[in-house]
A and B are shown apart, each in its own frame.
Chain A
């Protein structure tokens, strides 16, 4: 082996061992940074107009970059189960100031802001503010009214304003007829399982982001389960009228011919009858945890 090839071999070994060392050290530094709770997403500038001024003619590009930052920020916080979403609003504010026509930032940003923790930031007022700005900047886009109606309906439980938002949106050319139906239905009934199911289905069908789609899917399963439970309770009451006793197990309803079999929830777990004779989700069902979370978060 010549001196040169020996040198090259030695260098190769040094590089490989060195990079392995770098890898290990990087993991140690990551651990230290996590312990420090370093907020790497700290925003030096929080004024959208100032950032717009500094962006010169590249404001739309910067808007897209800030929107990407908002998505990454939300995704990373979600992954780490960190509920502190303090920078979400400033990021969305800057993104939409830089590019007022960035429709996606208003629509999905409102979902990120409006949904209750841990799914979202639990800031429906800011979600409304964002969407109202979107409507002002893009007056021809009817879907913002659908999103506004969703925020009022699901997050703020303000059914009069939800109905009003759907009604306003329905007057736009190209808006589907169901917007008008929703406006009337919510004005008449307030919150109902059928309306909730329909609105979540709309979100599920139109969402491009997998996280939002998954969230809508979970809500759809929960609403479906609640509708099934309502139906089982109705049959259980009918059983009590017919037999004069309260059913303690769903098999009694099956034997009485009221059910064809033990019904399963959307996750495939059988419903059960609780102590009060009311139908419930099985404790083994993954939906149970979601339902408990939802109940805990309800005002």
Chain B
């Protein structure tokens, strides 16, 4: 386990050195501008706009980091040939993968937590005093982090057997498909046969369902998020990421690195 944690800590340090956290400046500027102007150009929807905009920014920025850095975690080490030196040490390939995964998730956790605090401050500026329900913003941020963790796992899997470009493409495509997973289940169609409907239903359950982590509409309107849902979503990501990482480890262990 210490090997995994060492790789994770290094991956985190590397991300910080690569100035990944600079995006926080962009986010802070966005929130400041929104907080100043939204009250002047709209009536009665300040909270909704600030929360929607903030959560969207957290999600989009995190998505870029998860996909673009996620697919580079393995291939960059291979291109720079640092992977060979690392694997010459008593580090198993699966430990390397798991460490990289945890390192990037830690980077994303720090990033989203900082943005979550920034969003909360912006909310406080436009609407004080804050209500108890406003704390659900942090729940929404946590669910975004869960989503990002799942995307990192998928990006890692694809980067284990294909080029960086294709890995980005596959991850992005799976993300888009996952956003529409619930829609697949309720889709209405004139020409859909029962077997097609059943197939779509099955696929909708097997795809990573990214709608599970979207509580933006509820939180933006001061609604609550049940604890059980957060628990199930956490378990969902734990199980799904475990499957994806186990598959990635298997693929990576079979890969000829010569």
Contacts and interface: CB of A to CB of B under 8 A. Distances in A.
Interface stretch (B30-38, B73-81, B106-114, B215-223): B215-223
Interface string A8-47: 1001001100110111011011101101101110101000
Contacts of B228: 28, 32
A131 to B, nearest CB: 23
Contacts, number: 84
Nearest to B239: A21
Given A33-B229, A36-B225, A71-B188, A26 B246 contact: no
Given A22-B206, A25-B235, A42-B217, A35 B242 contact: no
A23 B239 CA distance: 11
B97 to A, nearest CB: 14
A26 B229 CA distance: 10
Nearest to B206: A19
Contacts of A7: 250, 253
Interface residues of B, number: 35
A18 B240 contact: yes
A118 interface: no
A268 interface: no
Interface in B166-184: 182-183
A25 B217 contact: no
Given A15-B246, A18-B239, A208 B190 contact: yes
A75 B217 CA distance: 21
Contacts of B215: 36, 38
Given A26-B209, A39-B217, A18 B232 contact: no
A209 to B, nearest CB: 7
B247 A15 contact: yes
A39 B246 CA distance: 35
B212 interface: yes
A215 interface: no
The B interface is mostly helix, strand or loop, or mixed, namely helix
Given A32-B228, A32-B229, A26 B187 contact: no
B47 to A, nearest CB: 14
A18 B242 contact: yes
A242 B105 CA distance: 91
Interface residues of A, number: 33
A64 B136 CA distance: 35
A32 B226 contact: yes
Interface in A27-83: 28-30, 32-33, 35-36, 38-40, 42, 44, 71-72, 75-76, 79
Contact of B239 (A8, A25, A29, A36): A25
Contacts of B246: 11, 14-15, 18
A244 interface: no
Contacts of B209: 26, 29
Nearest to B249: A11
Given A11-B247, A19-B206, A36 B218 contact: yes
A25 B232 contact: yes
Given A32-B228, A75-B188, A210-B190, A44 B239 contact: no
B243 interface: yes
A40 B52 contact: no
Nearest to A33: B229
The interface centre, meaning the residue of B205, B212, B218, B253 with most chain A CB atoms within 10 A of its CB, is B205
Contact of B226 (A11, A36, A208): A36
A22 B250 contact: no
A26 B239 CA distance: 11
A97 to B, nearest CB: 20
The interface centre, meaning the residue of B52, B229, B233 with most chain A CB atoms within 10 A of its CB, is B229
Contacts of A42: 217
Given A35-B226, A38-B218, A40-B214, A29 B247 contact: no
B27 interface: no
B3 interface: no
Contacts of A14: 242-243, 246
B236 interface: yes
Interface of A: 4, 7-8, 11, 14-15, 18-19, 21-23, 25-26, 28-30, 32-33, 35-36, 38-40, 42, 44, 71-72, 75-76, 79, 208-210
14 contacts: A11-B246, A15-B243, A18-B240, A18-B242, A19-B243, A22-B206, A26-B209, A29-B232, A30-B182, A35-B226, A38-B218, A40-B214, A72-B188, A79-B188
Interface of B: 52, 182-183, 186-188, 190, 205-206, 209, 211-212, 214-215, 217-218, 223-226, 228-229, 232-233, 235-236, 239-240, 242-243, 246-247, 250, 253-254
Given A22-B236, A40-B182, A210-B190, 12 more contacts: A23-B206, A29-B209, A29-B212, A36-B215, A36-B218, A36-B223, A36-B229, A38-B217, A40-B217, A76-B188, A208-B190, A209-B190
The 10 closest A-B pairs by CB, nearest first: A32-B229, A18-B243, A75-B188, A42-B217, A25-B236, A28-B232, A21-B239, A23-B205, A29-B232, A29-B212
